[in-house]
């Protein structure tokens, strides 16, 4: 549990860093903004499943409303994940969660694997965002875990 909590702290930090880099770049790339919104909404989707709620109302690939709205979504996600994890014990990590995917398929996945999915999915897309920023000539955000761990 300690490792997952630490990795979640990294996720919150990295989400903020990538948003800061996007703001500093003044990018107008709609696909790049859609991608960062996707990360935030995916976090929200998985959280709703962990909470036993339906997630099918969330659209994963819509146009972004702007970085301010995305930042607010990331902040709300962080607050809700923190509350969820605060009440979760080590033994609960292997509990199976039943849920439906966005296209209606039924699955069962452990809480541990869902949390790892959230962590790895975000890092994958932050890498894509950094690459796009670099290609635009903007400064990418250093979001590696080791950078976070040195703070």
10-residue mean pLDDT series, the chain (151 residues): 96 98 95 96 98 93 92 97 95 96 94 98 97 96 96 93
Residue owning tokens 């990418």: 140
CA dist 14 and 148 (Å) reads 8
Domain count for the chain: 1
Instruction: Quote the pLDDT of residue 80.
Output: 97
CA dist 140 and 110 (Å) reads 34
- Report yes or no: 132 and 29 within 8 Å, Cβ to Cβ: yes
Instruction: Quote the pLDDT of residue 65.
Output: 85
Residue owning tokens 């770049």: 25
Q: Which domain holds residue 9?
A: 2-149
Q: Which pTM does this prediction carry?
A: 0.94
Residue 143 sits in a domain whose CATH number is 1.20.120.450
């Amino acid at each position: 549990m300690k490792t997952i909590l630490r990795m979640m702290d990294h996720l919150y930090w990295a989400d903020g860093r990538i948003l800061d880099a996007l703001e500093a770049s003044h990018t107008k790339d709609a696909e790049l903004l859609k991608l960062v919104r996707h990360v935030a909404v995916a976090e929200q989707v998985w959280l709703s499943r962990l909470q036993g709620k339906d997630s099918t109302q969330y659209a994963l690939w819509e146009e972004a409303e702007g970085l301010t709205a995305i930042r607010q979504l990331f902040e709300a996600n962080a607050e809700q994940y923190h509350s969820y994890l605060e009440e979760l014990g080590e033994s609960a990590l292997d509990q199976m969660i039943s849920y439906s995917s966005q296209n209606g398929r039924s699955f069962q996945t452990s809480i541990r694997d869902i949390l790892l999915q959230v962590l790895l999915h975000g890092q994958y897309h932050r890498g894509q965002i950094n690459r796009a920023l670099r290609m635009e000539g903007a400064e990418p955000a250093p979001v590696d875990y080791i950078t976070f761990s040195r703070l």
